[in-house]
Amino acid sequence: MDASEIGDDRTLLLVDDDEPFLRRLAKAMEKRGFQVETADSVAGGKAIATARPPAYAVVDLRLEDGNGLDVVETLRERRPDARIVVLTGYGAIATAVAAVKIGATDYLSKPADADDVMNALLVKTDALPPPPENPMSADRVRWEHIQRVYELCDRNVSETARRLNMHRRTLQRILAKRSPR
């Protein structure tokens, strides 16, 4: 994909509190033809989204001062046609669904490189994604289900354990671990 596929409005908002990653991604996206503005917080992202709503945005889900979905909501209100990709280091299906429901175009797990981001921003909405080369393992499917129920219970461990019919301490151990591959 090259700069000609971006269109006339090449404005891009990047919101991430990982400064080295933010700088690298900004530089890479500028080389790909975007006019980049960056923010390292929800407040900064919302301010830019309100004042100068961009055509494209890449927003980290978890920021130090709150949830990146607040930036997505603000941008969606100000510019309904914006293409928004949500990035996160905590890849879970429940948060991906929440991001898409609120208006994100796509969802990527970190580490994502500039090519992944560019492809997600410019993909045609009616195109079906290719089937996964490495489908989720049974352990990963189980972990995703637990994460989904946990999110639906507003991150209440006791209620999640009750609904999953499992001991609360067992659930706490599972939640403390990283997701299986």
Q: How far is it, in rounded angstroms, from Cα 75 to Cα 168?
A: 38
- The answer on pLDDT for 95 being more than 60 is yes
> Which has more confidence, 168 or 117?
168
pLDDT at 55: 92
Q: What is the mean pLDDT of the chain?
A: 83
Which CA distances in Å does 91 have to 38, 62, 155?
A: 23, 11, 16
Query: How does residue 54 score in pLDDT terms, banded at 50, 70 and 90?
Result: very high
Q: What DSSP character marks residue 175?
A: H
- The answer on pLDDT for 164 being more than 60 is yes
Q: How far is it, in rounded angstroms, from Cα 13 to Cα 36?
A: 6
Find, among 29, 33, 31, the residue nearest to 15 by Cα. Answer: 29
Segment 19-35 shows an average pLDDT of 91
Domains within the chain, CATH numbers bracketed: 3-122 (3.40.50.2300), 138-176 (1.10.10.60)
Query: How does residue 13 score in pLDDT terms, banded at 50, 70 and 90?
Result: very high
